[in-house]
Amino acid sequence: MTSLTLRNLKKSFGSTEVIKGVDLQVHDGEFVVFVGPSGCGKSTLLRMIAGLEDITAGELYIGDRLVNEVQAAQRGVAMVFQSYALYPHLAVKDNMAFGLKVRKVPAEERERRVQDAAASLKLEALLGRYPRELSGGQRQRVAIGRAIVGNPQVFLFDEPLSNLDAELRVHMRSEIAALHKRLGNTMIYVTHDQIEAMTLADRIVVLREGRIEQVGSPRELYERPANLFVAQFIGSPRMNVLPAASVEKSLSARGLDIGSAEGVGMRPEHISVVEAGSGLLRGAVTLREYTGATTLLHVALEGGETALVVHNGQNMPEAGEDVGLEIAREHMHLFDSQGQAIRPLARAG
């Protein structure tokens, strides 16, 4: 049973509070991803769980055990660092065996466990090499191998793929997913790549300035963001948010009531281009960015705002051409003046 419970966790460095009260329940075997803008406290929170930063206030349970005062090594967690933190003066094998050695595990068992871990990650051929003789992807794999060898209950990853090139990142991402499936351990993974977050996570935790903005499955966050911040943070390109006034008239003409909403969010991929003069919104294409599978259109709206539209169909409008924009009712997100989501879009009574 290795669930984790975070209760009102706080962390201050001197007088600056960095983690401002985090409550979270991580279930046994769950893959949880922390995302958020740079400096929001993802690494700090992860290091608090690991025991590398002490906890200023609140309670942290691993399983049923309160671990606030338990040393890092006794928490049953292993961490994969962004920098990999492989000891440069030790061969791969000794890097992987390091934890077993300091814990005085007998040499034969050490050997066996390193071999097992190496086999499962296809590292056998690299065991005699030094970290400097490895490629980025190989180093990454060794770092994961080192974590596995200790048989931890919980794996922590701090942006493990951010030093790899795009192609390798996709590949390692799938390896980490496979690893989770195979081992079934609880894993907490920090990233600010939202594709990584969406593809790996059972649940995503969106953090901002030391607080949780929303916790949910990737689908929940995408389809029902709890507020403007999450709505614009999840999804790429980011969601268009227009003042309610710009669509209010066209909506009520269709018998839809916008209620108390102040902002209306529409994801670029949900907007379709229709003939000029029709549709919910009108505007003119100012810029077309061809990306291969799709084209990103920048549309200057009548009200003065710019909307992004992902266009992947036929009838590509020219730059400068007037167009109409249409979106299905269920794809509209309404936000109140505080930026909190209101739903659903109601039929006018």
Ligand X SMILES: Nc1ncnc2c1ncn2[C@@H]1O[C@H](COP(=O)(O)OP(=O)(O)OP(=O)(O)O)[C@@H](O)[C@H]1O
Site string for another protein, 26-65 (x = CB under 8 A): ---------------------x--xxx-------------
SS3 195: helix
Q: How many residues bind another protein (CB under 8 A)?
A: 22
Note whether 81 binds another protein by CB under 8 A: yes
When the beta carbons of 61 and 81 are compared against another protein, the nearer one is 81
The span from the CA of 189 to the CA of 179, in Å, is: 13
* Cβ-proximal residue to ligand X, closest one: 43
The span from the CA of 339 to the CA of 262, in Å, is: 8
Q: Which of 2, 43, 95, 186 binds ligand X (CB under 6 A)?
A: 43
Note whether 38 binds ligand X by CB under 6 A: yes
- Which backbone phi and psi does 39 adopt, to 5 degrees? 85, 10
Q: Which of 10, 129, 192, 211 binds ligand X (CB under 6 A)?
A: 192
76: left (phi over 0), alpha (psi -120 to 50) or beta: left
Note whether 191 binds Mg ion by CB under 5 A: no
The contacts of residue 70 (CB under 8 Å, 6+ apart) are: 51
Note whether 166 binds another protein by CB under 8 A: no
When the beta carbons of 13 and 87 are compared against ligand X, the nearer one is 13
Q: Which of 345, 201, 320 is nearest to 266 (CA)?
A: 345
The span from the CA of 172 to the CA of 179, in Å, is: 10
When the beta carbons of 44 and 194 are compared against ligand X, the nearer one is 44
The span from the CA of 231 to the CA of 238, in Å, is: 8
7: which 2 tokens?
């209760």
Q: Which of 18, 78, 161, 309 binds ligand X (CB under 6 A)?
A: 18
When the beta carbons of 37 and 128 are compared against Mg ion, the nearer one is 37
- According to DSSP, the residues that pair with 314 across neighbouring strands are none
The span from the CA of 91 to the CA of 327, in Å, is: 57
SS3 150: coil
Q: Which of 6, 9, 33, 42 binds ligand X (CB under 6 A)?
A: 42
Note whether 72 binds another protein by CB under 8 A: yes
114: which 2 tokens?
């390193």
When the beta carbons of 60 and 271 are compared against ligand X, the nearer one is 60
The span from the CA of 78 to the CA of 143, in Å, is: 10
Q: Which does 44 bind (CB under 5 to 8 A by kind): Mg ion, ligand X, another protein, none?
A: ligand X
Q: Which of 92, 63, 52, 71 is nearest to 185 (CA)?
A: 63
Q: Which stretch binds ligand X (CB under 6 A): 40-48, 177-185, 324-332, 334-342?
A: 40-48
Given strand 4-13, what is the order of strands in its sheet? 16-26, 4-13, 57-62, 65-66
When the beta carbons of 43 and 140 are compared against Mg ion, the nearer one is 43
Site string for Mg ion, 33-62 (x = CB under 5 A): ----------x-------------------
Note whether 142 binds ligand X by CB under 6 A: no
When the beta carbons of 53 and 213 are compared against another protein, the nearer one is 53
Note whether 150 binds another protein by CB under 8 A: yes
Instruction: Write the DSSP symbol of residue 340.
Output: B
Work out how close the CB of 111 gets to Mg ion at its nearest, in angstroms, rounded to a whole number.
Answer: 35
CB atoms under 10 Å from CB of 260, counted, come to: 10
Q: Which of 99, 160, 218, 268 binds another protein (CB under 8 A)?
A: 99
- Residues forming the site for ligand X (CB under 6 A): 13, 18, 36, 38-44, 192
- Residues forming the site for Mg ion (CB under 5 A): 43
